[in-house]
Every structure is written in C-alpha cells, then in structure tokens.
Amino acid sequence: MKKIAIFLASNSTSLMHRNPLFLPFLALVFSASACKTSYQPGAVQYLDYRINSKEKADSGLLTLLRPYSDSLNKTMNDVIAVAGVELVKKQPEGTLNNVLADAMLVIGQEKFKTTIDAAFLNYGGVRLNVLPAGNITRSKVFEVAPFDNVIVLQRMTGTILQQFLDMVAIRGGWPCSGISFQIKNKKAINIKIGNKPVDAATEYTIALLDYVANGGEDFAFLKNIPQQNNGDLFRDAVLSYFSRFQKEGKQVTAKIENRITNAE
C-alpha cells in the first residue's frame, strides 16, 4: 500500500477577506500510511490570489491584531532622545555618519570589553539621509538601521587596513570613528588612528558590521580574518547610545571633524 499526501497552499491574504479564521498561508497535509515508510505526493496544487487597494479590509482580522499593533505602535513611538541639530548623511563625512559611528565604537568597546581602534559603517547601511532636529523615536532608529546587522571585531595589520581604506576611498567615504584620513586619486592617504600615523606592521582592532566583515560590498578579503562576534546588533547600540543623552539631560549633537576629507 502507498501513502497518500494532499497539499493545499495559498500565498495570499485574500482568504482572510472571506473568513477571518484563515491565515495568510495555509498548509494542510493529510497522510495515510501502511507498509512503506516513504512516499511521494500524488499531486501538488497552488492557488494564487492578487491583493490590491480595491480589497476591503477584514474587520475581524483587524480586531484580532489591534492589541498587538497598539502595543507595537506605543513602543515604536517612545522618545529615546532629542536631536539638538539636524543630523545629515553625507560623503565624505556627515554629522549623522559621525554620531552613528561613535555609537558603534563606544557601545562596542563596552560590549566586547576591549579597546577598539576604529569603527566603520558601510554608507549604504545607513538608510535615512536626514535625522531632523527634535524628538528621536525608536521607530526613527529602526528607519536609520532597519537591518539586523551585528557588530564584529577584526584584528588587521596596518597593511590590510590600508587595503580596506583604499576601497572605502573608492566608494567616496564611509561613516567612521577613531580614525581620520584623506582621499586622493581614490586612495586613502595621511591615515591616523589616535592622532598617530598608521604603522604597516601594527595590528589594529577594527569594528565592522558583519555584512562587510563577511565579504559584503566586495570586501571578500575580510572573510579570511577571524572575527569576534557577541551577537550585538548595531541598531541596539544606537538605541543605547542615544538613550544615554536623554538620561543625562543632553541633546544628541554632532559636527564635521574632518575625519575624512578630499585632498586637493
């Protein structure tokens, strides 16, 4: 005897429109077994539905979800800090760049309980161009950093750091903290960490997002460098860093500090 399996699937919320008890995705598996321990489905059927603005909202589903959405909205609208000035994402350097990279370095040092020489964020990972002056809500931080990127540490020599910064220079500059350099002919020059020139043979502890450390943005050579990873989200670091200003009765501010400049 053979097993019989029946699958019914839908990739739409249209069924909710008809009946609030249906879930967006429904899978029903029925099997009857006898002698054999393996089976192949006799048939697979898929039903597709298109959802558009003409679809009427399901009041039953909205009622079911309201307690959760109300709780989420309340949390996301919490004011965690106040920006004293407009914070701007810009290349080669911006005020939003600086405050976010500072958050990564400061909180990263506390989480890893070690000194971090420099911290970098890939420019595209910052998803808001402007954080207006005034209240900073939790939802705004999620807009700035919507991805679940984790902070990782990598130890690299000054030679490898030069290679890394040259690629950053080609991309026009990234948010950074603890380091300064100039861009000339798409190369990084006059690199300083702690106001001291970078030494080719010295090892430096660099904080990056796991996305970059794992080879994102074409930084494949970083994949060969061991990582320290505590699972700490960059977004949580920003939330923690901003919250400190609020607790101390201060506003979040930042200024251009010539961390990255274009050499003439």
Per-domain residue ranges of the chain = 4-66, 79-262
**Residues contacting 5, CB < 8 A, separation 6+:** 29, 30, 31, 39, 40, 41, 42
For the segment(s) 79-262, the CATH number from 3.30.56.10, 3.40.50.1000, 3.50.50.60, 3.90.780.10 is 3.90.780.10
Q: What is the pLDDT of residue 68?
A: 65
Q: What angle (nearest 5°) sits at the alpha carbon of residue 120, between those of residues 254 and 165?
A: 115
Q: What is the pLDDT of residue 44?
A: 65
Q: What is the pLDDT of residue 11?
A: 39
pLDDT class of 38 with cuts at 50, 70, 90: low
**DSSP-derived secondary structure for 95-130:** HHHHHHHHHHHHHHHHHHTS--SEEE--GGG---SE
Asked whether residue 32 carries a pLDDT value surpassing 60, the answer given is: no
pLDDT class of 201 with cuts at 50, 70, 90: very high
Asked whether residue 69 carries a pLDDT value surpassing 70, the answer given is: no
pLDDT class of 143 with cuts at 50, 70, 90: very high
Give yes or no for a contact between 162 and 200, defined as CB atoms under 8 angstroms apart.
yes
Average pLDDT, the chain: 85
Asked whether residue 58 carries a pLDDT value surpassing 90, the answer given is: no
Q: What is the pLDDT of residue 76?
A: 86
CA-to-CA distance for 218 and 124, rounded, in angstroms?
13
Taking Cα atoms as reference points, which of 171, 175, 194 lies closest to residue 183?
Answer: 171
Q: Residue 13 to residues 8, 54, 57, 212: CA-CA distances in angstroms?
A: 14, 13, 10, 36
Give yes or no for a contact between 145 and 235, defined as CB atoms under 8 angstroms apart.
yes
Higher-confidence residue: 45 or 241? Answer: 241
Q: How many secondary structure helices (H) and strands (E) does the chain include?
A: 7, 16
65-68 own/partner pairs: CB under 8 Å, 24+ apart: none
Proportion of the chain above pLDDT 90, given as a percent: 70
Higher-confidence residue: 144 or 17? Answer: 144
Give yes or no for a contact between 222 and 209, defined as CB atoms under 8 angstroms apart.
no
Strand partners, 136: 81
Q: What is the pLDDT of residue 199?
A: 97
Angle at which helices 95-112 and 234-247 cross, to 10°: 100
